[in-house]
Amino acid sequence: MELSLVDPNSPRSAQVETMRDACAANGFFRVPLSSIPADIAAEAWGLAKAFFSLPTAHKEAVGFPEPGYPYGYSEYGLEALARSLGDHDAVGDMKESFSVGPDCGVHASTVPATGASAWIRSVSLWPTQIPELRDAWERYYQALAVVAAELMSVMAEALELPTDYFEPFIDRPITSMRALHYPAVPNQAPSALRAGAHTDYGTLTILRTDEVAGLQIHTRDGWWDVPPDPDTFVVNLGDTIAQWTNDRWRSTLHRVVPGAEPRQSMAFFHMANWDATIECLPTCRADGEAPRHQPVQAGPWLMQKFQSTVDSGDR
């Protein structure tokens, strides 16, 4: 399946039209990799690869210090994304990952750190063997934060809202970022998955992949392959947008299927503010139409979804 390209160099009206069509169709589109500086993209990607090449003991040194901790190294098979949709018997995904949180961003110090919201302020863990990784990833995180904010402004216009409509909801975002390594699986079982079928939880995800295929999205006609393109980011809508738009724009089910070649990706999970109330937008409901979803507070909702995917050791 070919995805539409939302090109920041095209006229604004064209961006809005492409965004509206893509989000109404399947919630997936592309933006150019050149949306951020090439050196920032290359360094963050290369150091992610270096991290996954470390000995297991060094990676485990920055593993989750306790079950449900949001950032750090997640070993092969620990997470099962299909559990977030209620499949509590789902086996662990065939991947390892390394995640960091909003302390990478320029708004980190303004996120409340009391009560339940302290969870999102958990400290990101950094490998001492690659000291330059932190600075490189923080620059990458902050570059993509700019891209995400701009995409949200295009979305606002596509929804017939003021350009800056979403700004009060995303000015203290609880965004996280993750690199993923999928080892080669040459003789996998038919039911095995590198990442189980799931939707993303936030506003939008900005994904960089290598040239290895594997990402699939679910449409009314079944599962479709998304061709890899290392020169673009794949962007998809999350559950927060579905809530906001009364399901006029959906958060589409997707997965990663196994293959004989190793695969790497980096995902930037843009989120709303912890305390943002997500409820049906004024332009997404006809007169007399009831909202399909009850209002939710973004942070606690995200926390519940994330913690449902991690094996606590009690299973």
Residue 139's region, left for phi above 0, alpha for psi from -120 to 50, else beta, is alpha
> 298: pLDDT confidence band, cut at 50, 70 and 90?
very high
Mean pLDDT of 97-123: 73
Q: Is the pTM here over 0.85, yes or no?
A: yes
> 92: pLDDT confidence band, cut at 50, 70 and 90?
low
**Each residue of 250-296: pLDDT tens digit?**
899 999 888 889 999 999 999 999 999 999 999 999 888 899 999 99
Q: Higher model confidence: residue 130 or residue 104?
A: 130
Residue 314 pLDDT exceeds 70: no
Q: Give me the CATH code for the 12-307 domain, please.
A: 2.60.120.330
Rg value, the chain, Cα: 19
Contacts of residue 253, Cβ cutoff 8 Å, sequence gap at least 6: 197, 198, 199, 217, 218
> 115: pLDDT confidence band, cut at 50, 70 and 90?
low
In the 3-class helix/strand/coil scheme, how is 205-221 assigned residue by residue?
Answer: EEEEECCCCCEEEEECC
**Each residue of 129-146: pLDDT tens digit?**
999 999 999 999 999 999
> 313: pLDDT confidence band, cut at 50, 70 and 90?
very low
Show the tokens assigned to 204.
């939008």
User: What's the pLDDT score for residue 75?
Assistant: 86
> 192: pLDDT confidence band, cut at 50, 70 and 90?
low
> 303: pLDDT confidence band, cut at 50, 70 and 90?
confident
Domain locations along the chain: 12-307
> 189: pLDDT confidence band, cut at 50, 70 and 90?
low
Backbone angles phi, psi at 197, to 5 degrees: -60, 130
d(C-alpha 84, C-alpha 59), whole Å: 25
**Each residue of 200-251: pLDDT tens digit?**
999 999 999 999 999 999 988 899 999 999 999 999 999 999 999 999 998 9
Mean pLDDT of 87-98: 72
Q: What is the DSSP string of 20-41?
A: HHHHHHTSEEEEEGGGS-HHHH
The separation between CA 40 and the C-alpha centre of its own chain, rounded to angstroms, equals 19
> 198: pLDDT confidence band, cut at 50, 70 and 90?
confident
User: What's the pLDDT score for residue 190?
Assistant: 54
